[in-house]
Structure formats: structure tokens, C-alpha cells
Amino acid sequence: MNKTHFHQPTACLLASIVYSFCQFALANDMTPRDSIRKGAEQYVTSRYVLSAHSSLNISAAQIDKRVSIPGCPDPIEYSASNEAFNQSNIAVKAFCNHTHWYMYLMVSAIEMQSVVVMANAVSPGTILTDKNLTIIDMNKSLMRSTTYADIQHVIGARIKRRVRPGQPVSPNNLCFVCKGDRIVINASLGLMQVKATGIAMEDGNIGETISVKNTRSKKQIDARITNTREVAVNI
């Protein structure tokens, strides 16, 4: 089955469930069956709400050649229940208001998510660079853990466990500051900035708060990770 790939449209979004087929310019040499399938695909695309960094793979099932497609002087209209959009296979009704003819088509809608994956196998402790990473589209329904969509968000982090090529990069397998790292502690009090050195007492990623020990005072404090081997704390 041929699949057509659509990104989230920026126009033709309707609040109504019924979407008029006339919103789309179809080729003159398209057969009635192809026209109805294309209209159903465009209808689903217009109704689908995508998350960030995702796209939609749409494919309407072929119409049985034994089904008679009567002429319709009005634009074909399409509709589907709100509940249908919770499924990957959506039942879409194609309806000719003039003759009251209608039929149902099954439209496959698969949301694809941009995911940062490993371009090659790496061992624990490897510092990630753009040479280790690539981005692919994955079926969102098959994803079981939090992932990244931007390579820049993981460059500089270290891998905790061995990973294979094509494996999604997971926050649970990274640390921008790893336990035992010698780190810079940036302390601020109003306009005053003080730097100190410390030791990380646990793993963490950017934005997370971890426990660190000041190497001079030996005091253990909580600090927020701001960069690779850097943390910040308010005095």
C-alpha cells in the first residue's frame, strides 16, 4: 500500500466535524476512488492534533472495485467521531449530501516522532558529540521512555551504559555531571558571584538538582546543574 506523508497543516483547520472536500484541489485525471481516498486522508490530517517535533503518516485503504461510486454534483463531505481519533485506524464517512450516498473508509494515521538515536555503538563513559548521534522518525505509539528531539540537548553528556546503533538516547542513560566528578560550584548572593570547586555525590542532567560536596569546606549542599561539570547554588 502506498503511503502519503503529511506534516501538520497550517491552514484548512475546521472546528466542525464535517470537512468539505472542495477545500482541496485534486488533479483532473484522478479517479473517483482516488479522489475519495485522497479526501479522506486530507480530512484526517486536518483534524489530527500533533505534538511538537512530530509528523503524520497517512494511508487510506483501497476501495473495493466492486463498490459503485455514483456521481455527486456537490462536494463530498467527510466526518469521523472524536473517539475514532484515539485509534491508529480511523473510520471516516464519505457522504454525498445531494444523493444521500455514503461509504466508510479506513484511514491509517501513525504519528511519527523525531528522536535522537545513537549513530554508532558507544561504551560507558563516552562523551557524546554530533558524530555519535543522528535523528530519525519513530512511531510514537511504540516509544516506551522519554527521549530527545534535538541533538544539541545531549551533546557533552556521558553515557552510563553501553548502547547500540539506532537506540534512542534516554535521559536515564545520561549524566552531564556524574557521581565523583570534580565540578565548578557557582554561588551567587545578589550581584556577588563566588566560584568554588566540589565533588558530585550523584549523577544528574542539566536542570536537575544534585548533592555536591565543597572540597574546601567539606560541606555537602544541593545545587542545580547548569552545564557539563558545572552547578549553581544561591547563598
Three-class SS of 135-186: EEEEEHHHCCCCCCCCHHHCCCCEECCCECCCCECCHHHEECECCCCEEEEE
As a whole number of angstroms, the distance between CA 228 and CA 90 comes to 46
Does one domain contain both 78 and 127?
A: no
Average pLDDT over all residues of the chain: 86
Does one domain contain both 9 and 106?
A: yes
As a whole number of angstroms, the distance between CA 95 and CA 171 comes to 48
Does one domain contain both 152 and 66?
A: no
The answer, yes or no, to whether residue 68 has pLDDT greater than 90, is no
What are the Cα distances from residue 136, in Å, to 26, 111, 139, 149, 165?
Answer: 31, 13, 10, 9, 12
Does one domain contain both 140 and 128?
A: yes
Residue 10, pLDDT score: 36
Q: Is the pTM of this model over 0.85?
A: no
pLDDT tens for each residue of 97-136: 999 999 999 999 999 999 999 999 999 999 999 999 999 9
Range(s) of the domain holding residue 46: 4-111
The answer, yes or no, to whether residue 76 has pLDDT greater than 90, is yes
Does one domain contain both 10 and 28?
A: yes
Number of domains comprising the chain: 3
Residue 54 CB-half CA count within 13 A? 19
The answer, yes or no, to whether residue 69 has pLDDT greater than 70, is yes
Which grid coordinates belong to 1?
Answer: 500500500
Does one domain contain both 11 and 72?
A: yes
pLDDT tens for each residue of 155-203: 999 999 999 999 999 999 999 999 999 999 999 887 888 999 999 999 9
- State residue 115 phi and psi, 5-degree precision: -135, 135
As a whole number of angstroms, the distance between CA 199 and CA 210 comes to 11
As a whole number of angstroms, the distance between CA 41 and CA 121 comes to 39
Residue 6, pLDDT score: 44
- Better pLDDT: 70 or 95: 95
